[in-house]
Amino acid sequence: PMGSERMEMRKRQMPTTQETPGAAQAQHSTGNRGSNACCFCWCCCCSCSCLTVRNQDEERARRTSHELQAEGIPNCEESPAPTLEEVNAWAQSFDKLMLTPAGRNAFREFLRTEFSEENMLFWMACEELKQESNKSVIEEKARLIYEDYISILSPKEVSLDSRVREVINRNMLEPSQHTFDDAQLQIYTLMHRDSYPRFMNSAIYKDLLRSLSEKSIE
């Protein structure tokens, strides 16, 4: 009788004993999923606060990078829309094209498509330097121009021969409004001979000319 009672008692305890490890395991598993959802449970990613913070950081980094890039590219010059007469005059000479802000803007847009916009930016920076009279401002602007367009480490380095580079290096010992005159002339000549003919045959120029011609007819 005593043996029968022990067997009966074991049978009654077995369901409880078997259920407990399973329940404990399920609870343990659920606990892990709740506390580490961002690392282990892909199905919870959309509501995971850890990933949300990470995504926000990545978005902030992308936005900052974009803003820095935008700041590094000066805006086009302010100018009224060109007239048909002006646009026709651009075809007469490169000097007439470069004489007006509208002409420089259109040409600069073309240079951007050829990945040589730095030539125009350098030329414009030199023109701006020539307008300065304050010695400290001249020195600071000359330094920035050198770092942006002359230094071989700059992604916007312009193409200059060794003679002109030597002249610039000497001039930088005591910068003035005319530190980059030789370099500016060389880049101006390069744009004139190399880029200007292609600009006159480009869709940018032809579309602008056609648009203004159609408006004049109306």
Q: Three-state SS for 124?
A: helix
In a domain, 95, yes or no: yes
- Please state, in angstroms and rounded to a whole number, the distance separating the CA atoms of residues 160 and 148: 14
In a domain, 75, yes or no: no
Position 127 scores a pLDDT of 97
Model pLDDT for residues 58-97, shown as the tens digit of each residue? 444 343 333 333 334 456 778 789 999 999 999 999 999 9
Position 79 scores a pLDDT of 75
Tell me the whole-structure pTM to 2 decimals: 0.65
In a domain, 59, yes or no: no
Which structural domain, as residue segments, surrounds residue 102? 84-216
In 85-183, beta strands by DSSP E: none
% of the chain beyond a pLDDT of 90: 61
Contact status, residue 98 vs residue 126, Cβ threshold 8 Å: no
Total domains present in the chain: 1
| Residues counted in the chain | 218
In a domain, 164, yes or no: yes
Largest Cα–Cα separation, the chain = 122
| Average pLDDT of the residues of the chain | 78
Tell me what the mean pLDDT of segment 16-27 comes to. Answer: 44
What CATH number did the domain enclosing 112 receive? 1.10.167.10
